[in-house]
Amino acid sequence: MLLISCPNCGPRDETEFHYGGQAHVPYPEDPYALSDREWAEYLFYRDNDRGAYAERWSHSLGCRKWFNAVRDTVTYDFTAIYPMGDPRPTTSEGAVR
């Protein structure tokens, strides 16, 4: 079981959280301008990185707020937790305390 540091509630068990998949996938600015291929990319294609991965979590049994995290998909270690809307941290900024 993962121990996840909710930015609002502190470290809690994984079972309190809901996984939201890849972070930073914005709704297309003009969906009507997209080709079928591009629309398929938005709907169905997500990165599936081996290693550091920026993803969304919701503390659904706690504060019910969403946040972003960078987690290693092989070791499952969290390396950063940061607010939704912020860019993905590049260095130690946002590192898990």
Partner 1 sequence: MADQLPEHPDFLWRNPEPKKSYEAVIIGGGGHGLATAYYLAKNHGMTNIAILERGWLAGGNMARNTTIIRSNYLWDESAAIYEKSLKLWEQLPEELDYDFLFSQRGVLNLAHTLQDVRESQRRVNANFLNGVDAEWLDPKQVKEVCPIINIGDDLRYPVMGGTYQPRAGIAKHDHVAWAFARKCDEMGVDIIQNCEVTGVERIGDKVVGVRTNRGNIATERVAMCVAGDSSVLADMAGIRLPIQSHPLQALVSELFEPVHPTVVMSNHVHVYVSQAHKGELVMGAGVDSYNGYGQRGGFHVIEEQLAAAVELFPIFSRAHVLRTWGGIVDVTLDASPIVSRTEVDGLYVNCGWGTGGFKGTPAAGLTFAHTIANDDPHPLNAPYALERFETGHLIDEHGAAAVAH
**CB nearer partner 1, residue 1 or residue 33:** 1
Does 32 participate in binding partner 1 (rule CB under 8 A)? no
Measured from the CB of residue 18, what is the shortest distance to partner 1 in angstroms? 8
Q: Tell which positions 60-89 bind partner 1, by CB under 8 A.
A: 71, 73-76
Single out the residue of 10, 11, 31, 40 in contact with partner 1 (rule: CB under 8 A). 40
Name the region of 29 (left: φ>0; alpha: ψ -120 to 50; beta: rest): alpha
Determine contact, residues 47/22, Cβ cutoff 8 Å: yes
Stretch that binds partner 1, among 23-31, 48-56, 58-66, 88-96 (CB under 8 A): 48-56
Phi, psi angles (nearest 5°) of residue 12: -140, 160
